Amino acid sequence: MREVGIIGVGMTRFKEHWDSSLRDLFVEAALKALDDAKVPMIDSIYVGSMSSGLFVEQEHIGPMFAEYLGVKNVPAIRVESACASGALAFRLGYIEVASGLSDIVLVSGVEKMTDCEDPTSALAAAADVECEAFFGATFPALYALIAKAHMDRYGTTREQLAAVSVKNHKNGLKNPDAQFQREISLDAVLNSVMIADPLTILQCSPISDGAAAIILGPLDMVRKMTDKVVKITGSGVATDTIALHSRKDVTSLDAVKLSAERAYKMANRKPKDINVCEVHDCFSIAELVTIEELGFVEKGKSGQFVVEGNTEIDGKIPINTSGGLKSKGHPVGATGIAQIIEIHKQLTGNAGERQVKDAKIGMAQNMGGTGASSVVHIMEVV
């Protein structure tokens, strides 16, 4: 397999985009990435989108996007694995370049959620519709079950959960692409509207519109085109039961652990080697369980770990410097790509006020459903 690197990146701001359609969002992000990469042409396109069908009644977005980007006839394929769609689009582009079949591949993610009357029902299509959603289980409810179990087993507190949102909003304030660029207090998080006990609304990622795009190429080419070369050294994917109730232990996310193990093995790295990491904090509890599964903190100790400041920008392992899904926003299909863009910014020294000092090795973890799919990538400055 050929070595693969990142040539350029681009994204829309994540927010409620009332003046842009699905295709507009894609084109904006893709043009920014192409402008950043300065490549004359692309060989193929991958686009991650969870449910353009349920959100805006449009399937078949690959060729539509190629056309509106002005590269009609280029192969363009949509990839879906719920909220992990973006990272999977990245992985498939990586494999295509690594295989030697293509040189320059645009990988992207997009979602237009605000045009949908009932986005919570559309999102529920990422759960087991027959066994979960049909009986009223929404994602806030399912993640609340995980949170309750984690509190019960490990003594995780409401304050520890809320601290995740406080930290992520603090970071998002420094990110011009974030949906919410403001700090929130622990009190505000704890006393905001209860969605599914113990998760208050300020512990739930928002409904967002947005797109993100990355241009990949063979490392030899990337070396000639960029100053700071970022190589993809690890790519791991794993799946788990679609329904939460089928798991042996709901305080664990096995697919996250396994996808990380696969990525660590491929990159020949360990948790202690990672300098900066974006994780899938669709709900506060998701960030806690995930940093345990990624090996950054012992099982059950994540709440205290966050409260102690270890996941801050200047902490032991900075988590979600972008603001995470909570503050940056979560247009589901775009999230996995935007996470990797944040890591790329950190590794190339372009993260502005939220820059992690001397970041050389980064990780991005993106997941679908209640962790029925998880994708982990490791990237390194080489």
Catalytic positions are 83, 330
User: Please, are residues 188 and 336 in contact by the beta-carbon 8 Å criterion?
Assistant: no
Pairing of strands 361-368, 373-381: antiparallel
Kindly tell me which of 37 and 74 has the beta carbon lying closer to a copy of itself.
74
# of chain residues touching a copy of itself (CB under 8 A): 58
Residue 75 interacts with a copy of itself (CB under 8 A): yes or no: yes
Provide the sign of the torsion angle of the four alpha carbons 62, 64, 67, 68, taken in this order: negative
Could you say which residues in the range 361-380 bind a copy of itself, by CB under 8 A? 368-369, 372-373
Region binding a copy of itself by CB under 8 A among candidate stretches 73-81, 188-196, 204-212, 278-286: 73-81
Q: Exposed, middle or buried, 81 (CB in 10 Å: 0-12/13-18/19+)?
A: buried
* Cβ atoms 52, 61 nearer than 8 A: yes
Question: Which one among 7, 12, 17, 80 touches a copy of itself, defined by CB under 8 A?
Answer: 80
Minimum distance, C-beta of residue 13 to a copy of itself, in the bound complex (Å): 23
Residue 57 binds to a copy of itself (criterion: CB under 8 A): yes
Q: Which residues inside 311-340 make contact with a copy of itself, applying CB under 8 A?
A: none
Q: Select 130 or 298, whichever has its Cβ closest to a copy of itself.
A: 130
Residue 370 to residue 9: CA distance in whole angstroms: 28
Task: Please identify, using beta-carbon distances, which residue of 113 and 126 lies nearer to a copy of itself.
Answer: 126
Longest alpha-carbon distance in the chain:
56
Closest to a copy of itself by CB, 79 vs 212, is: 79
Q: Are 63 and 47 in contact (CB under 8 A)?
A: no
Phi, psi values for residue 250, rounded to 5°: -80, 0
CB 158 within 8 Å of CB 199 = no
Binding positions for a copy of itself, 245-284, rule CB under 8 A: 246, 254-255, 258
Size (the chain), residues:
382
Report, in angstroms and rounded to the nearest whole number, the Rg of the chain calculated over CA atoms: 19
Among 35, 38, 130, 268, binds a copy of itself (CB under 8 A): 130
Looking at the Cβ atoms of 14 and 94, the one nearer to a copy of itself is 94
**Rounded to 5 degrees, what are φ and ψ at 312?**
-75, 170
Contact with a copy of itself (CB under 8 A): which of 40, 73, 118, 358? 73
Query: Given candidates 50, 216, 244, 294, which one binds a copy of itself under the rule CB under 8 A?
Result: 50
d(CA 363, CA 274): 7
Instruction: Lay out the site mask for a copy of itself across 7-46 (x = CB under 8 A, - = otherwise).
Output: --------------x----------------------x--
- The piece of 77-85, 194-202, 210-218, 351-359 that touches a copy of itself (CB under 8 A) is 77-85
DSSP 8-state secondary structure symbol assigned to residue 5: E
The single residue among 88, 147, 151, 222 that binds a copy of itself, judged by CB under 8 A, is 88
CA pair distance 59, 255, nearest whole angstrom:
28
Q: Are 2 and 219 in contact (CB under 8 A)?
A: yes
State in Å, rounded, how far the first CA of the chain is from the last one. Answer: 17
Q: What Cα–Cα distance (Å) separates residue 380 from each residue in 159, 232, 346? A: 34, 7, 11
Closest distance between a copy of itself and the C-beta of residue 272, in Å? 25
Q: Does 192 bind a copy of itself (CB under 8 A)?
A: no
CA-to-CA distance for 177 and 329, rounded, in angstroms?
9
| Closest separation in Å from C-beta 289 to a copy of itself | 17
Residue of the chain from 64, 166, 184, 190 that contacts a copy of itself (CB under 8 A) = 64
Interacting residue ranges for a copy of itself, rule: CB under 8 A: 1, 21, 44, 50-51, 53-54, 56-60, 62-64, 66-67, 72-82, 88, 92, 95-96, 98-101, 122, 125-130, 133, 237-242, 246, 254-255, 258, 368-369, 372-373
